[in-house]
A and B are shown apart, each in its own frame.
Chain A
Amino acid sequence: MRSASLLNSLLLAVAFFGGVLVGVFGGPVWKQAVISFAQEQYTTFTYKCDHAMREHLIAKSVLSEAPSIEQVEVLRAAETALIDCNDYDILRKKLIRFGLDDNDLSEMSLIAIEERANSLQQVIDVHEIRY
């Protein structure tokens, strides 16, 4: 009878501390797991969207400088390519639904743009203001 009571107390304590542990560390662990799972895809989509936006900007400026039917088609293709940014937006929405907040997404973006920064020059390339 006494040993059963001890066991119950022990289970209660384990459950309590387990709950505390999950409460304290569960959120960060869950977020880290989501980030680890999605980072590669997020990096790819970030790059593709960035690329699509730059191509679109260039296509628009070329069209305004030298209008032609061919360049209109290039611009339309560049507009269609912006669907890559829709992929990026959808992934962000999914990640928010899975519990990530703006800070987590900012961290993922930083990881994406710093991914290849193995030297100071690459860090400069990422952060240098160009115009």
Chain B
Amino acid sequence: MKYATEIIAIFVFLTAGAAQADSMRESVLRTRAMETGLVRTEAVLPPISEPKSNAGRLLFESTELSLNRQTSCQTCHLDRFSSADGIPNAIGTGGDGEGIVRAEGEGDIVPRNTLPLWGRGSIGFDRFFWDGKVDGTIEPVHSQFGDTPPSNDPLTVAVHLPIVEIREMISDAREADELRTETVSSAARVFEQIESRVREHDGLSTALNAAYEISSSDISIIHITDAIAQFVRDRFRLHDTKFHEFVFEQIPLEPEELAGGLLFYGKGRCSACHNGPFFSDLEFHAIPFGQAGFGKNGFGVDYGRYNVTLNAEDIYKFRTPPLFNVTLTAPYSHSGNTYDLADAIRAHTDPLSVVSLEDLSAVGRVEFYKRLRAWSSDGNFEVALDQAEIDALAAFLGTLEFEDAEAPISSPN
């Protein structure tokens, strides 16, 4: 008994310091998370109209919204891939199947990685797409519609665009030639056809009539896109994660998750850009990821934000991606060039370790150097991370998952 007491005393003596340090670390992490804008997800949930969301669900799943009736919104935003599509570049019209099967098929390539939809349209989530081509932080909403956006809601404006994007929901074939001008008037012609189809479709028109209290003849593209926006807000709303429970309910993290969190908000400087309620500043930064596929500008080049602003300072910048469910939405980067979350993290601070320059052409190397220049001008990436730290960051990112109660039970291939 005497020895037992002594052993316990020695154990308490040896571990007291570590316990005190853990408590300090937890406190620091909670403070840093709140300082950089983390809030309970209910604080950013927008009001939802259930009838409109129900109508939006039918439209989201319907191939009637693509001219050749091949693709729907759901084609690239699948539950089994946590609202993304699980492949590097999206495959639009002409594609078949899901995941790798679709990537190996003959469909038209949309040269960017499909973004997951979690939190889109939440309060304060006002910039959409990798290049921020729909921007609700400006009035009127900035988009390809110019001075006359179809809505004051940026998510509703964003929903208009895939419908008129060639290769996404319009086939890249001769019959689409007249739409290649990609003007507002050519988009209007597509919208007229879609409106006409929806008015004549029993299921879709009935749902819209009920939701908006209009007759079928009054259904217009704004009802269609607004209903889809309502559905996206509803179906892909955010839920509190393990990290929220840690910050707001004092439920502890695993030691590696805690270490990763401190790196995220400390040495790693991840929170300089991945901050706020969505773990994104919704601003534009250059990360020198390798380019997978042909690229938006062709021949392995995607200038990102520059394509919207034509400002040379924006070349190779992309909007900071939010991080909810990031561990479920591989591949990563604007072109989905890596499935490995650790490599995606490494590309932020040590890009030369994940890009093999010898595989690039001379032009490819020059373009990569441009990406490096854009990246290196941002001091936030001057960080050295070893493998254990990258693993800890990945473990922390795992705490940003939440259970998707509506998703069918299946495992991604």
Contact = CB atoms under 8 A, between A and B. Distances in A.
Q: Which of A51, A81, A86 has the most CB of B within 10 A?
A: A81
B272 A77 contact: yes
B384 interface: yes
Nearest to A83: B262
A90 B18 contact: yes
A65 to B, nearest CB: 13
Interface string A16-56: 00000000000000000000000000000000000110010
B21 interface: yes
Interface in A64-104: 70, 73-74, 76-81, 83-84, 86, 90, 93-94, 97
Contacts of A79: 266
A77 B18 contact: no
A77 B267 contact: yes
Q: Chain B, interface size: which category? A: 20 to 34
Interface in B27-63: 28, 32, 35-36
Contacts of A94: 14, 17
Given A51-B384, A73-B36, A83-B262, A90 B269 contact: no
Interface in B263-295: 265-269, 271-272, 275
Interface in B305-359: none
B411 to A, nearest CB: 37
A74 B384 contact: no
Given A55-B267, A74-B269, A94-B14, 11 more contacts: A73-B36, A73-B271, A73-B275, A74-B272, A74-B379, A77-B269, A81-B267, A83-B25, A84-B267, A97-B13, A97-B14
Interface of B: 13-14, 17-18, 21, 24-25, 28, 32, 35-36, 262, 265-269, 271-272, 275, 379-380, 384
Given A76-B32, A77-B271, A86 B266 contact: no
A42 to B, nearest CB: 15
Contacts of B18: 90
Nearest to A44: B386
26 contacts: A52-B267, A70-B272, A73-B36, A73-B272, A74-B272, A74-B379, A76-B35, A77-B265, A77-B266, A77-B269, A77-B272, A78-B266, A79-B266, A80-B32, A80-B262, A80-B265, A81-B266, A83-B262, A86-B21, A86-B24, A90-B17, A90-B21, A93-B17, A94-B14, A94-B17, A97-B13
Nearest to A82: B266
A70 B269 CA distance: 11
A77 B384 CA distance: 14
Contacts of B36: 73
Interface SS of chain B: helix
Contacts of A70: 272
Interface of A: 51-52, 55, 70, 73-74, 76-81, 83-84, 86, 90, 93-94, 97
A76 B265 CA distance: 9
Contacts of A51: 384
Nearest to B13: A97
B108 to A, nearest CB: 41
A103 B266 CA distance: 32
Contact of B267 (A73, A80, A97): A80
A64 to B, nearest CB: 16
A38 to B, nearest CB: 14
Contacts of A76: 32, 35
B266 A83 contact: yes
Contacts of A78: 266
Contacts of A52: 267
A81 B267 CA distance: 5
A86 B21 CA distance: 8
A70 to B, nearest CB: 7
A13 to B, nearest CB: 31
Contacts of B275: 73
Contacts of A93: 17
A77 to B, nearest CB: 5
B272 A83 contact: no
A78 B262 CA distance: 11
Nearest to B18: A90
Contacts of B28: 80, 83
Nearest to A55: B267
Contacts of B267: 52, 55, 77, 80-81, 84
A78 B380 CA distance: 11
A81 to B, nearest CB: 4
Contacts of A55: 267
A84 B383 CA distance: 14
Contact of A74 (B17, B32, B380): B380
Nearest to A48: B267
A7 to B, nearest CB: 32
A50 B18 CA distance: 21
Q: Which of B18, B36, B266, B272 has the most CB of A within 10 A?
A: B266
